[in-house]
Amino acid sequence: MTHYFYQWKQLNEFEDVKQELMVSKTRTSNFSTEVDGMKKRMVVLENLNRKLQTMFGLETDEVQGGVSVAPGQGGEELPYEGLPGDAFNGQFGQDQGDGQGGIVPESPKGYLSTEKQIDEIEGGLDWLNRQTEVETKILEELSLVAHEKVEQWGATPSIWPTKGRITSRFGPRVSPFTGKKALHAGIDIGAPTGTEVRSPASGKVVVAAYDGRMGKFIRIDHGYGMETTYGHLSKIYVKYGDRVQRGDLIGLVGSTGKFSTGPHLHYQVAVNDTVVNPIHYILD
């Protein structure tokens, strides 16, 4: 009888251990699902951040305040598969032949490893949470950079200011007015009088006036150190202080001013007060 009660007690303890293992297996499975989801989100964030950094020509440190975080690295590979529920069944099946007795192991194999796996998974979750915060912060900073870049692109001259053909290019030339070598500070685009002149980028009109040599002319400040000038106009449709967008009508081609030999637009681009070849800022 004593042996019967002893076996009954051991069986109850065995069932308790089995129940704990089932609970542990469920917890581990839930953790695994959560980790898998976080890993997928992490991959999406890392790929997006990497693409944006490449697009904007930024190094990793530039958007992390100098703190280097290796994308997708860190932490131990966590064993999420082959959890010990199955190992439990196989292990104890060897000790439970019909009519056999014996002592149930005090600490079944697989039980401690399951708890260890749970600890490792919880540690992995903490790491993934921290890494997600880092990647999210990088994405927020990249969004600010993107906003600034969009504004800068919008303020960068990129289209023809009028329809026509180039009659005089940027650079050294023999002046048609003095016969001496001089620097032509822009390009001349030949077109009939009255041809529309449009702003090649967003900006603010800082000059809309008449000059003895340039005739009726407009100057637009696009920000970021960029200015454009439009000379020899027949009409001006903007005034000082006006805000313009790329493609807005600002005037008409003409031949006003002493330094004009016929209808054309003198188009000039300056970067940080230095004239540059406007052709480099015509993309269409």
Position 269 scores a pLDDT of 97
Tell me how far apart the alpha carbons of residues 55 and 145 are, in angstroms, rounded to a whole number: 11
Position 150 scores a pLDDT of 82
Q: Taking residues 194-210, what's their average pLDDT?
A: 98
Tell me how far apart the alpha carbons of residues 133 and 64 are, in angstroms, rounded to a whole number: 12
User: Quick check: 151 pLDDT over 90?
Assistant: no
Domain ranges of the chain: 2-154, 165-281
Tokens found for residue 31: 């953790």
**Averaged pLDDT of the chain:** 76
pLDDT in tens, 19-71: 666 666 666 666 667 777 777 877 877 777 777 677 666 665 554 444 333 33
Position 133 scores a pLDDT of 81
Residue scoring higher pLDDT (162 or 125): 162
User: Quick check: 189 pLDDT over 70?
Assistant: yes
User: Quick check: 188 pLDDT over 80?
Assistant: yes
Residue scoring higher pLDDT (229 or 97): 229
By the 8 A CB rule, do 221 and 202 touch? Answer: no
**DSSP state at residue 77:** P
State the angle between helix axes of 111-154 and 84-93 in degrees (0 to 180), rounded to the nearest 10: 170
Taking alpha carbons only, the member of 74, 71, 75 closest to residue 135 is: 71
Position 176 scores a pLDDT of 84
pTM listed for this prediction = 0.57
Residue scoring higher pLDDT (143 or 280): 280
Q: Taking residues 63-86, what's their average pLDDT?
A: 40
Tell me how far apart the alpha carbons of residues 215 and 213 are, in angstroms, rounded to a whole number: 6
Q: Taking residues 67-82, what's their average pLDDT?
A: 38
CA dist 271 → 135, 150, 166, 246, 284 (Å) = 36, 18, 21, 18, 20
- Among 3-7, 81-85, 229-233, name the most confident range: 229-233
Q: Taking residues 134-154, what's their average pLDDT?
A: 81
Position 102 scores a pLDDT of 42
pLDDT in tens, 92-136: 444 444 444 444 444 444 444 566 766 777 777 777 778 778 877
* 165-281 CATH, one of 3.30.1450.10, 3.30.930.10, 2.70.70.10, 2.40.10.340: 2.70.70.10
User: Quick check: 12 pLDDT over 70?
Assistant: no
Q: Taking residues 192-219, what's their average pLDDT?
A: 97
CA dist 114 → 23, 28, 139, 259 (Å) = 10, 8, 36, 88
How far, rounded to the nearest angstrom, does the alpha carbon of residue 256 sit from its chain's CA centroid?
47
Rg (CA), the chain: 38
Tell me how far apart the alpha carbons of residues 87 and 97 are, in angstroms, rounded to a whole number: 17
User: Quick check: 225 pLDDT over 90?
Assistant: yes
Q: What is the DSSP code string of 240-258?
A: TT-EE-TT-EEEEEB--ST
Residue scoring higher pLDDT (29 or 248): 248
Percent of the chain clearing pLDDT 90 (strictly above): 41
Q: How confident is the model at residue 162 (pLDDT cuts 50, 70, 90)?
A: very high
Position 84 scores a pLDDT of 44
Position 95 scores a pLDDT of 45
Position 65 scores a pLDDT of 45
